[in-house]
Amino acid sequence: MPYLNVTEVESAVTSLATAYPDITQLVTLPEASHEGRTAHALLISEPTAAPKPCVMMIGGVHAREWGSCEILIHLAADLLESHRDGTGLGYGGTAFTAAQVGSLLHRLDLVLYPLVNPDGRNYSQTVKPMWRKNRNPANAGGSPNPDCVGVDINRNYDFLFDFVTAFDPKANPQVSNDPCDPQVYAGPSAFSEPETRNVRWLLEQLPLTQWFVDVHSYSQDVLYNWGDDENQSIDPDMNFRNSEYDGKRGLPGDLTYSEYIPKGDQDAAVLLAEAFCQGVNGVRGLTYKPMSGFHLYPTSGTSDDYVYSRSFADPDQGKVLGFTVEWGAEFHPRWAEMEQIIRDVDAGLVQFCLAAA
């Protein structure tokens, strides 16, 4: 099977909801894309007497990262078939018993949103393979430069969005306020884009979400909070909301600023990231590296930091630990290799969910 196009991704999601009506719900996201496409997510929820915590997984955010959609669709199909047939799951050298799969779905709800950026994926697959952003033309200002179209969805969330103020001038976070930046333009304001508003809406509809995974490529890592600076669990006043630290964030190894994370959250995040890596490693021996997002490079406006930051900014919001998977070693692996990557990452995600459960 080759990579799925936009229509095929949506068809796969709706087909799974149709095939497993007793345990799934098709969720229509409220906002169409700039080119008029409507996206769907799949909620997998075994009926139980009491509400369950939820794991939310999204993919297809960066247009050129084609395999992320397939990873989440295959994960959903594998879990649903295993649940229906009462069988286990095998991914190379990593295996899960029927009892483990049953326990996972009995203890957790899962919502999988495989294609957040349908316009971008369509453009990447039909016009410019390395396209990353969405296809919002509003900020181009009449420029003939094709790079002036689009916003990087994974810089458009409301976390340190004003990076010029928040970061040390020498930090060089991987984000831009230039509409013609071909990669990391953050947009005119946080949540300016329908794609990020759809993710926010989904979080609001599922307030029992406790874990969030954004599936990307590439670098064979799993990232956890935070992405703006190194972590520390000593000084709670040293945090992203404190304007006293504006202009000081984002430098490695300095004593001026580190982002506060409670030790319990840090420990939980590390354990879950390690569980993911263990699941991946068992498939065919690949070593994925768990680390904070900052140790890949400093960022702002990302999904994983936004979901975790919500409970700090508003204590009425439930705590959500945020993660980003960076699968593989290239954006468009040959399909035979992508099939192996799907098994790697799905094994890691099942192991992650079992550790969460």
Closest CA to 6 of 111, 135, 180, 109: 135
Query: What integer pLDDT is reported at residue 1 of this predicted model?
Result: 57
66/112 Cα distance (integer angstroms): 16
Query: What integer pLDDT is reported at residue 144 of this predicted model?
Result: 87
Query: What integer pLDDT is reported at residue 31 of this predicted model?
Result: 98
61/205 Cα distance (integer angstroms): 20
> What are the backbone dihedrals phi and psi of residue 2, each rounded to the nearest 5 degrees, phi first?
-75, 175
Residue 94 lies in a domain: yes
Q: Please answer whether residues 193 and 162 qualify as being in contact, where contact means their C-beta atoms are separated by less than 8 angstroms.
A: no
CATH number at residue 339: 3.40.630.10
Closest CA to 206 of 41, 357, 12, 9: 41
352/346 Cα distance (integer angstroms): 10
Residue 105 lies in a domain: yes
Q: How would residue 283 be classed by pLDDT, with cut points 50, 70 and 90?
A: very high
Q: What is the pLDDT of residues 333-354, one digit of tens each?
A: 999 999 999 999 999 999 999 9
Neighbour tally for 50: CB within 10 Å: 4
Local structure of 328: helix, strand or coil: coil
Quick check: bond before 113 cis, omega within 30? no
Q: Please answer whether residues 87 and 98 qualify as being in contact, where contact means their C-beta atoms are separated by less than 8 angstroms.
A: yes
Examine the pLDDT at 35 and tell me if it is beyond 90. Answer: yes
Query: What integer pLDDT is reported at residue 275 of this predicted model?
Result: 98
Q: Please answer whether residues 309 and 159 qualify as being in contact, where contact means their C-beta atoms are separated by less than 8 angstroms.
A: yes
DSSP state letters, 19-69? H-TTTEEEEE-SS--TTS---EEEEE----SS---EEEEE---STT-THHH
Q: What is the pLDDT of residues 210-264, one digit of tens each?
A: 999 999 999 999 999 999 999 999 999 999 999 999 999 999 999 999 999 999 9
Query: What integer pLDDT is reported at residue 293 of this predicted model?
Result: 97
Total number of domains constituting the chain: 1
Amino acid code (one letter) for 52 = K
175/228 Cα distance (integer angstroms): 11
Q: Please answer whether residues 333 and 314 qualify as being in contact, where contact means their C-beta atoms are separated by less than 8 angstroms.
A: no
Residue 229 lies in a domain: yes
Q: Work out the mean pLDDT of the chain and round it to a whole number.
A: 97
Examine the pLDDT at 278 and tell me if it is beyond 90. Answer: yes
Q: Please answer whether residues 293 and 252 qualify as being in contact, where contact means their C-beta atoms are separated by less than 8 angstroms.
A: no
| Tokens representing residue 131 in the block | 């396209």
Q: What angle do CA 119, 184, 272 make, to 5 degrees?
A: 90
26/130 Cα distance (integer angstroms): 30
Residue 186 lies in a domain: yes
Q: What is the pLDDT of residues 121-160, one digit of tens each?
A: 999 999 999 999 999 999 887 788 999 999 999 999 999 9
Provide the residue range defining the domain that includes 112: 6-356
Residue 1 lies in a domain: no
In DSSP terms, which residues pair with 113 in a beta bridge? 58
Q: What is the pLDDT of residues 286-297, one digit of tens each?
A: 999 999 999 999
19/7 Cα distance (integer angstroms): 18
Beta-sheet pairing, 109-113 with 40-44: antiparallel
Q: How would residue 25 be classed by pLDDT, with cut points 50, 70 and 90?
A: very high
Residue 68 lies in a domain: yes
Closest CA to 228 of 152, 174, 289: 174
Express as a percent the part of the chain with pLDDT over 70.
100
Alpha carbons within 13 A on the beta-carbon side of 255 = 0
